[in-house]
Amino acid sequence: MSDLGDLFRRHLAQTSDAPIGLEIDRAQGCWLYTRDGHRYLDMIAGIGVSALGHGNSAVAEAIADQARRHLHVMAYGEYVIASQARLAARLCELLPQSLNRVYFTNSGAEAIEGAIKAARKFTRRRALAAFDGAYHGDTMGALALAGNPTFREPFEPLIAPILHLPYADERGLAAIDQSVAAVFIEPVQAEGGVRVPSRDFIAALRKRCDANGSLLAFDEVLTGFARTGRMFALEHFDVVPDIVVMAKALGGGLPLGAFAARDELIGVLAHDPPLGHITTFGGHPLSCAAGLAALEVIAAENLAERARSIGQYLRDRIESLAAPEIANVRGIGLLWGIDFRDADFAHRFAAAALERGIVINWTLNAETVIRLAPPLVISREEIDFAVDAMRAALRDARR
């Protein structure tokens, strides 16, 4: 192990017993370059963040320009910060018209927390609902919404009451009643095993929320910014949620989260008490500048359309592997899950793929599913490289 690897092992708090452990030297486009001279194709875009790949020059220039002007100058919400105001306005242009105000945070989980607080205060209700397989982040509120009890239980008591409903199953919606402040849902689940609900299910959910005066919050942390082939996944469903939560690709590679809602809903955070929901670094000028530059590239280069076409190519190539160990390939845009018949095989496959030079990812709440969500700018040649590596990895995993 190198000196740095040794420091990493000895002094960095670990999140598992088996970190991937690549020693990154630099990253460019869809590739990660390690200190030992190898390169790896990033088929997970840093878990959904690097939509433009690594080292995009427009983003780098926006960061440099903002860094020369100013970095942090005041806690969020007090001064007029150009990059923040412009990014908020641009997001409101792209979101459904009623979502006309944005609260910036540092991360996805924090944006979920803010959305929970706004929903409870606006409705004066306490209960929340979420779905099995859900992942909304790891702070105490977001974790309470998590669909997998294994991750919740060691940290209980979490906020309550929470209704955990079956995902994509209309029969479960009857449990939403007038005690529910808000229902949180990922319009497409990633950590839940890449699951795409039907339009009917989402329409029924909207209807049930309306009938009971419950708010509907879409967690677009992973699905936002063209990942599913639309700027926001909500566009697939013809439904307008009351709250949209964003993060990951929002910051163009820097930490940034946000939630958007209509004036009177998000406005409850400004009074009774004033300053009842504040953050020092939320909407950092540097993150907003990077995010705005990234968003302009995503829009100008129509990367949503690209996600659809190159995503279809990726899907067809995965299907061509025709591996008997694969039960199902499913997804949308450039977010695909390979569902294996056996969880151990899936894990061996992911490890073998890394050896073969591609980074892929298992999912937190579905042990048999491997996720593919590369940068939206990935080329056909790079996908061919990934598929060849996966073919070899399948062979390796069989041994």
Ligand X SMILES: Cc1ncc(COP(=O)(O)O)c(C=O)c1O
* Residue number with CB closer to ligand X (66 or 287): 287
Q: In this structure, what token pair is assigned to residue 347?
A: 């894990």
Backbone angles phi, psi at 103, to 5 degrees: -110, 120
Contacts of 153 (CB under 8 A, 6+ apart): none
Q: Name which of residues 136 to 155 contact ligand X (CB under 6 A).
A: 136-137
* Order of all β-strands in the sheet with 162-165: 101-105, 257-261, 243-246, 215-219, 180-185, 127-131, 162-165
% helix, strand, coil for the chain, step of 5: 40, 20, 40
Q: Is the dihedral of CA 64, 71, 294, 35 positive or negative?
A: positive
Which residue is nearest to ligand X, using beta carbons?
108
Q: Does 107 bind ligand X (CB under 6 A)?
A: yes
- 330 burial type by CB count under 10 A (0-12 exposed, 13-18 middle, 19+ buried): middle
Q: Does 247 bind ligand X (CB under 6 A)?
A: yes
* Residue number with CB closer to ligand X (29 or 114): 114
Q: Does 227 bind ligand X (CB under 6 A)?
A: no
* Residue number with CB closer to ligand X (168 or 190): 190
Q: Does 222 bind ligand X (CB under 6 A)?
A: yes
Q: Does 219 bind ligand X (CB under 6 A)?
A: yes
Min dist CB 280 to ligand X, Å, is 17
Q: Name which of residues 288 to 347 contact ligand X (CB under 6 A).
A: none
**Whole-number Å distance between alpha carbons of 188 and 198:** 10
Applying CB under 6 A, the span of 76-84, 130-138, 282-290, 344-352 interacting with ligand X comes to: 130-138
Q: In this structure, what token pair is assigned to residue 139?
A: 């702070």
Min dist CB 218 to ligand X, Å, is 10
Q: Does 190 bind ligand X (CB under 6 A)?
A: yes
* Residue number with CB closer to ligand X (257 or 331): 257
* Residue number with CB closer to ligand X (287 or 368): 287
The owner of tokens 């926001």 is: 232
**Whole-number Å distance between alpha carbons of 220 and 233:** 7
Q: In this structure, what token pair is assigned to residue 20?
A: 């991937």
Q: Does 135 bind ligand X (CB under 6 A)?
A: yes
Applying CB under 6 A, the span of 202-210, 216-224, 263-271, 382-390 interacting with ligand X comes to: 216-224
Min dist CB 137 to ligand X, Å, is 3
Residues that bind ligand X (CB under 6 A): 47, 107-109, 135-137, 186, 190-191, 219, 221-222, 247, 257
